[in-house]
Protein backbone atom coordinates (compact mmCIF):
# COMPACT_ATOMS: atom_id res chain seq x y z
CA UNK A 1 0.00 0.00 0.00
CA UNK A 2 2.82 2.39 0.86
CA UNK A 3 4.46 1.69 -2.50
CA UNK A 4 1.16 2.33 -4.32
CA UNK A 5 0.69 5.64 -2.51
CA UNK A 6 4.26 6.65 -3.32
CA UNK A 7 3.81 5.82 -7.01
CA UNK A 8 0.53 7.73 -7.08
CA UNK A 9 2.26 10.73 -5.52
CA UNK A 10 5.02 10.57 -8.14
CA UNK A 11 2.46 10.44 -10.97
CA UNK A 12 0.48 13.38 -9.58
CA UNK A 13 3.66 15.37 -9.03
CA UNK A 14 4.93 14.76 -12.56
CA UNK A 15 1.57 15.59 -14.15
CA UNK A 16 1.37 18.79 -12.08
CA UNK A 17 4.86 19.84 -13.15
CA UNK A 18 4.04 19.19 -16.82
CA UNK A 19 0.79 21.18 -16.62
CA UNK A 20 2.51 24.09 -14.86
CA UNK A 21 5.31 24.06 -17.43
CA UNK A 22 2.89 24.07 -20.37
CA UNK A 23 0.82 26.89 -18.88
CA UNK A 24 3.97 28.91 -18.16
CA UNK A 25 5.15 28.40 -21.74
CA UNK A 26 1.78 29.55 -23.13
CA UNK A 27 1.84 32.57 -20.82
CA UNK A 28 5.35 33.43 -22.01
CA UNK A 29 4.31 33.19 -25.66
CA UNK A 30 1.25 35.39 -25.25
CA UNK A 31 2.64 37.96 -22.83
CA UNK A 32 6.40 38.58 -23.01
CA UNK A 33 6.20 41.03 -20.10
CA UNK A 34 5.24 38.44 -17.48
CA UNK A 35 7.66 37.53 -14.70
CA UNK A 36 8.36 34.04 -16.03
CA UNK A 37 9.41 35.31 -19.47
CA UNK A 38 11.67 38.02 -18.03
CA UNK A 39 13.29 35.55 -15.65
CA UNK A 40 14.07 33.15 -18.49
CA UNK A 41 15.08 35.80 -21.02
CA UNK A 42 15.21 39.55 -20.27
CA UNK A 43 14.86 40.26 -24.01
CA UNK A 44 11.93 37.88 -24.54
CA UNK A 45 9.37 38.76 -27.15
CA UNK A 46 6.12 36.88 -26.98
CA UNK A 47 3.79 35.93 -29.78
CA UNK A 48 0.78 38.04 -30.56
CA UNK A 49 -2.63 36.58 -29.82
CA UNK A 50 -3.28 35.97 -33.53
CA UNK A 51 0.04 34.20 -33.96
CA UNK A 52 -0.63 31.93 -31.02
CA UNK A 53 -4.12 31.09 -32.31
CA UNK A 54 -2.60 30.27 -35.69
CA UNK A 55 -0.12 27.88 -34.09
CA UNK A 56 -2.93 26.27 -32.10
CA UNK A 57 -5.05 25.68 -35.22
CA UNK A 58 -2.00 24.34 -37.07
CA UNK A 59 -1.24 21.92 -34.23
CA UNK A 60 -4.84 20.74 -34.05
CA UNK A 61 -5.13 20.11 -37.78
CA UNK A 62 -1.84 18.22 -38.05
CA UNK A 63 -2.55 16.38 -34.82
CA UNK A 64 -5.86 15.25 -36.32
CA UNK A 65 -4.06 13.67 -39.27
CA UNK A 66 -1.59 11.98 -36.94
CA UNK A 67 -4.58 10.73 -34.96
CA UNK A 68 -6.05 9.12 -38.09
CA UNK A 69 -2.84 7.27 -38.86
CA UNK A 70 -2.46 6.30 -35.20
CA UNK A 71 -5.73 4.39 -35.39
CA UNK A 72 -4.13 1.61 -37.40
CA UNK A 73 -1.16 1.31 -35.06
CA UNK A 74 -3.37 1.12 -32.00
CA UNK A 75 -5.85 -1.39 -33.40
CA UNK A 76 -3.22 -3.75 -34.78
CA UNK A 77 -1.24 -3.59 -31.55
CA UNK A 78 -4.36 -4.34 -29.53
CA UNK A 79 -5.23 -7.40 -31.62
CA UNK A 80 -1.82 -8.81 -32.62
CA UNK A 81 0.50 -7.31 -30.02
CA UNK A 82 3.08 -5.70 -32.34
CA UNK A 83 3.62 -2.30 -33.91
CA UNK A 84 2.95 -2.40 -37.66
CA UNK A 85 5.65 0.00 -38.86
CA UNK A 86 4.42 -0.43 -42.44
CA UNK A 87 1.17 1.35 -41.60
CA UNK A 88 2.80 4.67 -42.50
CA UNK A 89 3.06 3.37 -46.07
CA UNK A 90 -0.71 2.75 -46.11
CA UNK A 91 -1.01 6.47 -45.35
CA UNK A 92 1.41 7.21 -48.21
CA UNK A 93 -0.54 5.00 -50.63
CA UNK A 94 -3.68 7.01 -49.85
CA UNK A 95 -1.86 10.30 -50.43
CA UNK A 96 -0.28 9.07 -53.68
CA UNK A 97 -3.61 7.70 -54.94
CA UNK A 98 -5.17 11.09 -54.30
CA UNK A 99 -2.42 12.81 -56.28
CA UNK A 100 -2.76 10.48 -59.29
CA UNK A 101 -6.55 10.84 -59.40
CA UNK A 102 -6.58 14.61 -58.82
CA UNK A 103 -3.91 15.11 -61.48
CA UNK A 104 -6.08 13.24 -64.00
CA UNK A 105 -9.14 15.25 -63.01
CA UNK A 106 -7.23 18.50 -63.44
CA UNK A 107 -5.97 17.42 -66.88
CA UNK A 108 -9.59 16.78 -67.94
CA UNK A 109 -10.81 20.08 -66.52
CA UNK A 110 -13.04 18.39 -63.93
CA UNK A 111 -11.08 19.62 -60.90
CA UNK A 112 -12.19 23.22 -61.35
CA UNK A 113 -15.65 22.49 -62.77
CA UNK A 114 -16.87 19.99 -60.17
CA UNK A 115 -14.45 19.97 -57.26
CA UNK A 116 -16.82 18.36 -54.74
CA UNK A 117 -17.46 15.34 -56.99
CA UNK A 118 -13.74 14.99 -57.71
CA UNK A 119 -12.93 15.16 -54.00
CA UNK A 120 -15.49 12.46 -53.20
CA UNK A 121 -14.08 10.22 -55.92
CA UNK A 122 -10.44 10.59 -54.86
CA UNK A 123 -11.40 9.87 -51.25
CA UNK A 124 -13.20 6.69 -52.31
CA UNK A 125 -10.24 5.61 -54.45
CA UNK A 126 -7.78 6.35 -51.64
CA UNK A 127 -9.91 4.33 -49.21
CA UNK A 128 -10.03 1.40 -51.65
CA UNK A 129 -6.29 1.26 -52.37
CA UNK A 130 -5.30 1.90 -48.74
CA UNK A 131 -7.60 -0.86 -47.53
CA UNK A 132 -6.32 -3.19 -50.25
CA UNK A 133 -2.71 -2.46 -49.25
CA UNK A 134 -3.41 -3.06 -45.55
CA UNK A 135 -5.24 -6.35 -46.20
CA UNK A 136 -2.50 -7.63 -48.53
CA UNK A 137 0.09 -6.82 -45.86
CA UNK A 138 -1.85 -8.92 -43.36
CA UNK A 139 -2.43 -11.87 -45.68
CA UNK A 140 1.05 -12.04 -47.22
CA UNK A 141 3.45 -10.75 -44.57
CA UNK A 142 1.86 -11.14 -41.14
CA UNK A 143 -0.51 -14.11 -41.19
CA UNK A 144 2.26 -16.70 -41.79
CA UNK A 145 4.04 -15.27 -38.73
CA UNK A 146 0.97 -15.26 -36.50
CA UNK A 147 2.44 -17.71 -33.96
CA UNK A 148 6.02 -16.47 -34.14
CA UNK A 149 7.74 -14.43 -31.41
CA UNK A 150 6.54 -10.83 -31.56
CA UNK A 151 9.96 -9.54 -32.60
CA UNK A 152 9.73 -11.39 -35.93
CA UNK A 153 6.57 -9.68 -37.30
CA UNK A 154 7.92 -6.39 -35.96
CA UNK A 155 11.08 -6.75 -38.06
CA UNK A 156 8.96 -7.98 -40.97
CA UNK A 157 6.84 -4.83 -40.80
CA UNK A 158 9.99 -2.71 -41.20
CA UNK A 159 10.91 -4.75 -44.26
CA UNK A 160 7.40 -4.34 -45.70
CA UNK A 161 7.69 -0.59 -45.13
CA UNK A 162 10.94 -0.41 -47.11
CA UNK A 163 9.46 -2.60 -49.85
CA UNK A 164 6.39 -0.39 -50.36
CA UNK A 165 8.49 2.78 -50.26
CA UNK A 166 10.85 1.47 -52.94
CA UNK A 167 7.98 0.09 -55.02
CA UNK A 168 6.39 3.54 -55.16
CA UNK A 169 9.83 5.08 -55.77
CA UNK A 170 10.34 2.79 -58.76
CA UNK A 171 6.88 3.48 -60.18
CA UNK A 172 6.72 7.26 -59.72
CA UNK A 173 10.29 8.41 -59.15
CA UNK A 174 11.85 10.39 -56.28
CA UNK A 175 10.52 13.83 -57.18
CA UNK A 176 7.80 15.50 -55.13
CA UNK A 177 4.29 15.29 -56.62
CA UNK A 178 2.08 18.37 -56.26
CA UNK A 179 -1.67 18.27 -55.75
CA UNK A 180 -3.70 20.73 -57.87
CA UNK A 181 -4.49 24.08 -56.31
CA UNK A 182 -7.69 24.10 -54.26
CA UNK A 183 -10.64 26.33 -55.21
CA UNK A 184 -10.58 29.80 -53.69
CA UNK A 185 -13.88 29.25 -51.87
CA UNK A 186 -12.34 26.35 -49.94
CA UNK A 187 -8.87 27.75 -49.26
CA UNK A 188 -9.89 31.23 -48.09
CA UNK A 189 -9.74 32.30 -44.43
CA UNK A 190 -12.86 32.01 -42.29
CA UNK A 191 -13.70 33.64 -38.96
CA UNK A 192 -14.98 31.25 -36.29
CA UNK A 193 -15.47 32.81 -32.87
CA UNK A 194 -12.18 34.67 -32.37
CA UNK A 195 -10.14 32.40 -34.65
CA UNK A 196 -9.08 32.96 -38.25
CA UNK A 197 -8.81 29.54 -39.87
CA UNK A 198 -8.09 28.52 -43.45
CA UNK A 199 -10.85 26.52 -45.08
CA UNK A 200 -8.42 23.67 -45.76
CA UNK A 201 -7.56 23.26 -42.09
CA UNK A 202 -11.21 23.51 -41.13
CA UNK A 203 -11.97 20.70 -43.58
CA UNK A 204 -9.20 18.59 -42.03
CA UNK A 205 -10.61 19.08 -38.53
CA UNK A 206 -14.18 18.26 -39.58
CA UNK A 207 -13.28 15.19 -41.65
CA UNK A 208 -10.95 13.85 -38.94
CA UNK A 209 -13.60 14.34 -36.24
CA UNK A 210 -16.26 12.58 -38.33
CA UNK A 211 -13.89 9.71 -39.17
CA UNK A 212 -12.97 9.21 -35.52
CA UNK A 213 -16.63 9.30 -34.49
CA UNK A 214 -17.49 6.67 -37.11
CA UNK A 215 -14.66 4.43 -35.93
CA UNK A 216 -15.71 4.83 -32.29
CA UNK A 217 -19.23 3.74 -33.24
CA UNK A 218 -17.94 0.72 -35.17
CA UNK A 219 -15.66 -0.43 -32.36
CA UNK A 220 -17.99 0.26 -29.44
CA UNK A 221 -21.49 -0.31 -30.83
CA UNK A 222 -21.37 -2.96 -33.56
CA UNK A 223 -21.01 -6.74 -33.61
CA UNK A 224 -17.78 -6.41 -35.58
CA UNK A 225 -16.37 -4.05 -32.96
CA UNK A 226 -17.29 -6.42 -30.14
CA UNK A 227 -15.52 -9.23 -31.99
CA UNK A 228 -12.42 -7.07 -32.41
CA UNK A 229 -12.37 -6.24 -28.71
CA UNK A 230 -12.87 -9.89 -27.79
CA UNK A 231 -9.97 -11.02 -30.01
CA UNK A 232 -7.79 -8.26 -28.56
CA UNK A 233 -8.58 -9.54 -25.06
CA UNK A 234 -7.99 -13.26 -25.69
CA UNK A 235 -7.86 -14.95 -29.11
CA UNK A 236 -8.33 -18.48 -27.79
CA UNK A 237 -11.41 -17.69 -25.72
CA UNK A 238 -12.84 -15.59 -28.55
CA UNK A 239 -12.43 -18.57 -30.89
CA UNK A 240 -14.20 -20.87 -28.42
CA UNK A 241 -17.09 -18.39 -28.34
CA UNK A 242 -17.54 -18.78 -32.10
CA UNK A 243 -15.66 -15.71 -33.32
CA UNK A 244 -13.70 -16.15 -36.55
CA UNK A 245 -10.31 -14.88 -35.38
CA UNK A 246 -8.69 -14.73 -38.83
CA UNK A 247 -11.61 -12.80 -40.26
CA UNK A 248 -11.59 -10.40 -37.32
CA UNK A 249 -7.87 -9.71 -37.71
CA UNK A 250 -8.32 -8.99 -41.42
CA UNK A 251 -11.21 -6.70 -40.52
CA UNK A 252 -8.95 -4.84 -38.09
CA UNK A 253 -6.47 -4.12 -40.89
CA UNK A 254 -9.34 -3.26 -43.23
CA UNK A 255 -10.73 -0.72 -40.73
CA UNK A 256 -7.37 0.94 -40.10
CA UNK A 257 -6.65 1.21 -43.84
CA UNK A 258 -9.44 3.68 -44.71
CA UNK A 259 -8.52 5.92 -41.78
CA UNK A 260 -4.92 6.10 -43.00
CA UNK A 261 -6.13 6.66 -46.58
CA UNK A 262 -8.34 9.57 -45.54
CA UNK A 263 -5.44 10.99 -43.53
CA UNK A 264 -3.21 10.75 -46.61
CA UNK A 265 -5.74 12.64 -48.73
CA UNK A 266 -6.02 15.38 -46.11
CA UNK A 267 -2.23 15.60 -45.93
CA UNK A 268 -1.97 16.00 -49.69
CA UNK A 269 -4.71 18.61 -49.87
CA UNK A 270 -3.23 20.66 -47.03
CA UNK A 271 0.47 20.50 -47.95
CA UNK A 272 0.00 19.83 -51.70
CA UNK A 273 3.13 17.69 -51.87
CA UNK A 274 3.67 13.92 -51.63
CA UNK A 275 6.61 11.58 -52.21
CA UNK A 276 7.40 7.92 -51.56
CA UNK A 277 8.58 9.04 -48.09
CA UNK A 278 5.40 10.90 -47.17
CA UNK A 279 4.28 8.23 -44.71
CA UNK A 280 7.57 7.95 -42.82
CA UNK A 281 7.46 10.91 -40.42
CA UNK A 282 3.68 10.79 -39.80
CA UNK A 283 4.13 7.08 -39.17
CA UNK A 284 6.87 7.69 -36.61
CA UNK A 285 4.67 10.22 -34.84
CA UNK A 286 1.75 7.80 -35.00
CA UNK A 287 3.74 5.35 -32.86
CA UNK A 288 3.43 7.99 -30.11
CA UNK A 289 -0.05 6.58 -29.50
CA UNK A 290 1.55 4.07 -27.13
CA UNK A 291 1.45 6.80 -24.50
CA UNK A 292 -2.32 6.75 -24.87
CA UNK A 293 -2.66 3.12 -23.91
CA UNK A 294 -1.55 0.27 -26.11
CA UNK A 295 -4.09 -2.23 -24.86
CA UNK A 296 -7.19 -0.10 -25.39
CA UNK A 297 -8.94 0.19 -28.71
CA UNK A 298 -9.45 3.88 -28.00
CA UNK A 299 -5.87 4.45 -26.84
CA UNK A 300 -5.15 6.32 -30.08
CA UNK A 301 -7.45 9.08 -28.89
CA UNK A 302 -5.29 9.74 -25.84
CA UNK A 303 -2.15 9.63 -27.97
CA UNK A 304 -3.71 12.18 -30.32
CA UNK A 305 -3.98 14.63 -27.42
CA UNK A 306 -0.21 14.47 -27.01
CA UNK A 307 0.40 14.73 -30.75
CA UNK A 308 -1.54 17.99 -31.04
CA UNK A 309 1.32 19.78 -29.35
CA UNK A 310 3.87 18.39 -31.78
CA UNK A 311 1.88 19.04 -34.97
Rounded to an integer, what is the distance from CA 58 to the centroid of its chain?
15
Residues in the chain: 311
**DSSP-assigned letter for residue 298:** T
Angle at 86 between CA 224 and CA 278, to 5 degrees: 115
Q: What is the CATH number of domain 49-308?
A: 1.10.3470
Those residues whose C-beta lies under 8 Å from the C-beta of residue 249, and which sit 6 or more positions away, are 79, 80, 138, 143, 231
Separation between Cα atoms, residue 211 and residue 261, nearest integer Å: 11
Predicted TM-score (pTM) of the model is: 0.79
Cβ pair 198, 186 in contact under 8 A: no
Classify 195 as helix, strand or coil.
strand
Cβ pair 14, 8 in contact under 8 A: no
The domains of the chain are located at: 1-46, 49-308
Cβ pair 288, 303 in contact under 8 A: yes
Angle at 283 between CA 118 and CA 255, to 5 degrees: 60
Cross-strand bridge partners of residue 178:
273
Q: What is the pLDDT along the chain (311 residues), one digit of tens a residue?
A: 555 665 576 667 667 766 766 666 666 555 555 555 545 555 555 556 666 677 778 878 888 888 888 888 888 888 888 888 899 999 999 999 999 999 999 998 888 889 999 999 999 999 999 999 999 999 999 999 888 888 898 899 999 999 999 999 999 999 999 999 888 888 888 887 777 888 888 888 888 888 888 888 888 889 998 998 899 888 889 898 889 998 999 999 999 999 999 999 999 998 888 999 998 887 777 666 555 544 454 544 444 444 444 44
Amino acid sequence: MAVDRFLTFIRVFLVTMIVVGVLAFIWQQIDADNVFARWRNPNARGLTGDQFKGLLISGLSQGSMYGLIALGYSMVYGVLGFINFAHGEVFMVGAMTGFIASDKFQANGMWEENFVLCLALIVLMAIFFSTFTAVVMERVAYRPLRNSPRLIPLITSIGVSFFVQNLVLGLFGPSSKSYPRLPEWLAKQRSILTFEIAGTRLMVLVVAAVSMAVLWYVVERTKTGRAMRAVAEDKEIASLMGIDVNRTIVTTFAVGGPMAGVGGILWGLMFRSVTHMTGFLPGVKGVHLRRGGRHRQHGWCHGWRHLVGFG
